[in-house]
Chains A and B, each alone.
Chain A
Amino acid sequence: MSVISQDTQELIPGADELLPEPQPGGAHRRREWVDIIAGSLKFGRTRVGLVIVVAIVLLALIGPFVAPHSPFATGIAPDYSGPSAKAWLGTDGIGHDVFSRVLCGGRTVIGLSIAATVVAMILGVALGLLAGYSRPAVDDVIMRLLDVLLAFPSIVFVLLLVALLGHSLWLIVLAVAVTHAPRIARVARGATLEIVGRDFVRASEALGVPRRTILMGEILPNITSPLLVEFGLRLTYSIGLIAALSFLGFGMQPPAADWGLMINENRAAMLVQPYAVFVPVFLIALLTIGTNLMTDGVSRALIGIDRDTGAK
């Protein structure tokens, strides 16, 4: 039974064979994932990733307050003009200041991606715990239904929903979450199956502890580590997907300042005004590389901590 998703296995071969030793709920529950995050910082890649992510998130958060112009103000300089004292990165097709739009355009990508990933984790972990802790018949039904969702590539599934329901931001967040949930559920279920047979879970069952308390109090605290890695992976993919949706014209709508949208709006004029395209492309690339480097570091630490304790 694979405990860590396919993506993680690609990053770390054999990762699914080395999971932290489960502990009864309460004991050590806090330490484990704190240890793993601390341990991951030993790796250069985690620190590089962290610096990149912090820098870009700060840029996106503070940017709107320090932008020299309103992102919606037109006529800052002639249309498609190059860098100047007034507009550091030049202007776009209707005279918006590219620099100000870059500073203001990160919030939506980052905010929507985090929202989608959090909803995906809640959905996926709930389904995975339920499947892993239910009778085989219920487990089978849940997993087969999730397999059906997995048959649609994420972008196709999201666009299918957009075609049906029209585009709105809440729909996109929800649709991205729904496409990621089955993959998270697989990981959560796999990790749950490793725990359900343990003595401390059996003991709780024998004591008549309600199922919900066992799931939340005994099992969930013991599967946080693989879920941490899963969160990082899904966040990276969410950023890509949300930015791609804006790029395709189904995310943020003009005149919003948004990196994905900026790339699409300005790509026809790339020869005259490369900054309006290249800078957002570069920032999205850096952000996804940063989150992925951190995730890679965390999943390495997950294995490392295991080797220290000799757990199997």
Chain B
Amino acid sequence: MPPLLKLILRRLGLGVLTLFLVSVVVFGATQALPGDPARAILGKQAADKAMYNALRAQLHLDRPLYQQYGIWLKGIVTGNLGTSTASGVSVVSLIKQRVANSALLVVFAAIISIPLSILIGALAALWRDSVFDLTTSVGSLALASLPEFVIGMLLVFFFATTVVHIMPSVSRIDPSISVWGQLNLLILPVLTLVLAVAPYISRILRASMIEVLESDYVQMARLKGMPEPTVMSRHALPNAVIPAIQVSALQLAWLAGGVVVVEYLFNYPGIGSAFIDAVNNRDLPVVQAIALLIAAVYVIANLTADIITILVSPRLRTGLR
């Protein structure tokens, strides 16, 4: 087997193992709860032995733990996430639309923040120690310190209430009309997420760009008389972007969790606000499903980044031979 393929397969295997353990944690978390769910559901009727045993069988509580886990996992793989205890409807129907809404938020945030922060980072490196570099580096350090809800509240303060009132401060998407007709509702939540993740990417890109610009091969290209824009596009940027891939993926993964607070802040109907509602109601099937979903996105984003890094970095590719 070629060593590159072996490396990728190993990484894939590790990712699958992590996903499996994550599912064990989420399943196990509910098992750690004191009390018997059947007794909790039946209340006083639990005294009826036949009814109690029937319900236990229905919930598979009479099986050993590993079998319960197997049944639960099979349900998840086949798209059956259980029933919400708070509303009595299936978890899938409850969160289907919300998953799409959150994905929209994350995708918008990603396609804006990644190119924007790469541009800012590259320019800051190119114009090192200029006013632009100084401003963006102080700005990104400050932004990187702020919790996302603070960024969101500052945006609401400046654009949606006190200073000027040109944006909606809540983003209640109307499900009866197309999202594309109400994009203005997405501006502030997306901007919050962009400001939360962009500083990390631009900082790492600036650092790696500086390293690349000082490298021998960039010097060589310049000495050959290659025009500066070609040096940038052909030699500097492609190499400088490699470390940024990893960080971008980490930030994308972070976005999956970041939506929780941001959606709550803007009253945006996504999985984040659904998660908060479910935690408030202690609606465990919904909590489990969303936690598992977010963790899976996190693991898969990291996995993808690692594999892309293996594929694009010449050092890793050739070093194996």
Task: Report which A residues bind B (CB closer than 8 A).
Answer: 6, 9-11, 13-14, 45, 144-145, 147-148, 151-157, 159-164, 166, 236, 239-241, 243-244, 247-250, 263, 267, 270-271, 274, 277-278, 281, 284-285, 288-289, 291-293, 296
Q: Please report the C-alpha to C-alpha distance between residue A296 and residue B290 in the assembled complex, in whole angstroms.
A: 35
**Residue B257 at the chain A interface, CB threshold 8 Å:** yes
Contact, CB under 8 Å: A144 / B21? yes
Contact, CB under 8 Å: B247 / A156? no
Contact, CB under 8 Å: A241 / B147? yes
**Residue B105 at the chain A interface, CB threshold 8 Å:** no
Contact, CB under 8 Å: B203 / A153? no
Residues of B within 8 A of A162 (CB): 279
Known: A13-B208, A162-B279. A152 touches B153 (CB 8 A): no
Interface centre among B145, B256, B294 (most CB of A within 10 A): B145
Residues of B within 8 A of A281 (CB): 150, 153-154, 157
User: Interface code B182-206, partner A: CB below 8 Å = 1, 0 otherwise?
Assistant: 0000000000000000001001100
Q: Among A9, A277, A284, point to the contact of B147 (Cβ < 8 A).
A: A284
Contact, CB under 8 Å: A147 / B147? no
Q: Among B29, B149, B210, point to the contact of A244 (Cβ < 8 A).
A: B149
Q: Please report the C-alpha to C-alpha distance between residue A148 and residue B19 in the assembled complex, in whole angstroms.
A: 8
Q: Please report the C-alpha to C-alpha distance between residue A309 and residue B148 in the assembled complex, in whole angstroms.
A: 40
Interface centre among A160, A247, A281 (most CB of B within 10 A): A160
Query: For window 150-188 of chain B, which residues contact chain A by CB distance below 8 Å?
Result: 150, 153-154, 156-157, 161-162, 165, 169
Contact, CB under 8 Å: A151 / B169? no
| Beta-carbon nearest neighbor of A157 in chain B | B291
Contact, CB under 8 Å: B291 / A147? no
Residues of A within 8 A of B16 (CB): none
Q: Please report the C-alpha to C-alpha distance between residue A288 and residue B151 in the assembled complex, in whole angstroms.
A: 12
Contact, CB under 8 Å: A263 / B295? no
Q: Please report the C-alpha to C-alpha distance between residue A26 and residue B200 in the assembled complex, in whole angstroms.
A: 38
Residues of A within 8 A of B147 (CB): 239-241, 243-244, 284, 288
Contact, CB under 8 Å: A151 / B18? yes
Q: From residue B96, how far is it (CB to closest CB) to chain A in Å?
A: 20
Interface centre among B18, B32, B150, B203 (most CB of A within 10 A): B150
Q: Please report the C-alpha to C-alpha distance between residue A285 and residue B203 in the assembled complex, in whole angstroms.
A: 20
Contact, CB under 8 Å: B145 / A152? no
Residues of B within 8 A of A249 (CB): 280
Q: Among A148, A240, A270, point to the contact of B161 (Cβ < 8 A).
A: A270
**Residue B141 at the chain A interface, CB threshold 8 Å:** yes
Q: Please report the C-alpha to C-alpha distance between residue A66 and residue B19 in the assembled complex, in whole angstroms.
A: 53
Contact, CB under 8 Å: A274 / B161? yes
Residues of B within 8 A of A157 (CB): 291
Q: From residue B145, how far is it (CB to closest CB) to chain A in Å?
A: 4
**Residue B63 at the chain A interface, CB threshold 8 Å:** no
Q: Please report the C-alpha to C-alpha distance between residue A243 and residue B18 in the assembled complex, in whole angstroms.
A: 30
| Beta-carbon nearest neighbor of A166 in chain B | B282
Q: Please report the C-alpha to C-alpha distance between residue A277 and residue B265 in the assembled complex, in whole angstroms.
A: 13
Known: A281-B157, A289-B145. A153 touches B284 (CB 8 A): no
Total A-B pairs in contact (CB under 8 Å)?
150
**Residue B316 at the chain A interface, CB threshold 8 Å:** no
Range of interface residues on B (Cβ < 8 Å) = 35 or more
Known: A148-B18, A164-B32, A267-B156. A153 touches B256 (CB 8 A): yes
Q: Please report the C-alpha to C-alpha distance between residue A203 and residue B22 in the assembled complex, in whole angstroms.
A: 41
Q: From residue B289, how far is it (CB to closest CB) to chain A in Å?
A: 11
Q: Please report the C-alpha to C-alpha distance between residue A145 and residue B20 in the assembled complex, in whole angstroms.
A: 11
User: Interface code B239-251, partner A: CB below 8 Å = 1, 0 otherwise?
Assistant: 0000000010010
Give 11 A-B contacts (CB < 8 Å), ordered by A residue.
Answer: A10-B247, A148-B25, A151-B298, A159-B260, A159-B287, A160-B287, A163-B283, A164-B29, A244-B149, A288-B147, A289-B146
User: Interface code B289-312, partner A: CB below 8 Å = 1, 0 otherwise?
Assistant: 011001100110000000000000
Beyond A159-B276, A163-B287, A270-B156, 14 additional pairs, beta carbon < 8 A = A6-B247, A10-B200, A10-B203, A13-B207, A14-B207, A155-B261, A239-B147, A248-B261, A271-B161, A274-B162, A284-B147, A285-B150, A289-B145, A292-B145
Contact, CB under 8 Å: B146 / A156? no
**Residue B211 at the chain A interface, CB threshold 8 Å:** yes
Q: From residue B102, how far is it (CB to closest CB) to chain A in Å?
A: 13
Known: A164-B33, A267-B156, A284-B147. A156 touches B162 (CB 8 A): no
Q: Please report the C-alpha to C-alpha distance between residue A45 and residue B150 in the assembled complex, in whole angstroms.
A: 22
- Which 8 pairs show the lowest CB-CB distances between chains A and B? A153-B257, A240-B147, A13-B207, A292-B145, A274-B162, A288-B145, A148-B21, A163-B279
Residues of B within 8 A of A244 (CB): 147-149, 261
Contact, CB under 8 Å: B22 / A152? yes
Known: A148-B21, A271-B162. A285 touches B280 (CB 8 A): no
Residues of B within 8 A of A14 (CB): 207, 211
